[in-house]
């Protein structure tokens, strides 16, 4: 498998958040909230076909929203601006939010990543989910 060949196994990251799905969901669709945990800049139009643009640690991720189903699911395409291996919109990310009593289990599945991007994206999603969870720690 070459570095640009998409892997068959998706990257999966999960986190438990101390808030209900209705409170957590906007952190994936509202530019002001996305910049609190993953992006230094965001432009989002959270509707099917709407723009998905975030800058993550100097990497301009670009795509479009495919599905927005508050407060339980959002799907968007993903790629890096000016990348030949991972161009904008070349992969897709599904985020599922499941209520568990007064908390939310967020599971993110990133499909179609080239093998050369799997480790960095696994580490990145895991790190940023830690930041997201910390925003709600002690908030009860």
Strand order in the sheet with 11-17: 11-17, 103-111, 91-100, 73-78, 59-69, 51-56, 41-44
139 pLDDT above the threshold of 70: no
Buried residues in 107-140 as b, exposed as e (16+ CB within 10 A): ebbbbbbbbebbeebeebbeebbeebbeebeeee
Mean of pLDDT values over 99-116: 97
Mean of pLDDT values over 22-37: 98
The pLDDT tens digits for 49-58 are 999 999 999 9
CATH topology for 11-136 is Alpha-D-Glucose-1,6-Bisphosphate; Chain A, domain 4 (3.30.530)
Q: What is the pLDDT of residue 7?
A: 56
Please give the residue that has the higher pLDDT: either 7 or 25.
Answer: 25
């Amino acid at each position: 498998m070459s570095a640009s060949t998409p892997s068959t196994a998706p990257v999966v990251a999960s986190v438990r958040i101390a808030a209900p799905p209705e409170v957590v969901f906007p952190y994936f669709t509202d530019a002001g909230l996305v910049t609190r945990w993953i992006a230094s800049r965001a432009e989002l139009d959270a509707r099917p076909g709407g723009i998905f643009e975030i800058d993550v640690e100097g990497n301009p991720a670009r795509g479009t929203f495919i599905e927005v189903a508050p407060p339980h699911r959002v799907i968007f395409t993903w790629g890096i601006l000016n990348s030949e291996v991972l161009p904008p919109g070349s992969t897709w990310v599904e985020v599922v939010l499941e209520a568990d009593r007064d908390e939310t289990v967020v599971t993110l599945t990133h499909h179609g990543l080239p093998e050369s991007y799997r480790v960095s994206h696994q580490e990145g999603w895991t790190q940023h989910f830690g930041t997201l969870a910390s925003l709600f720690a002690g908030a009860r």
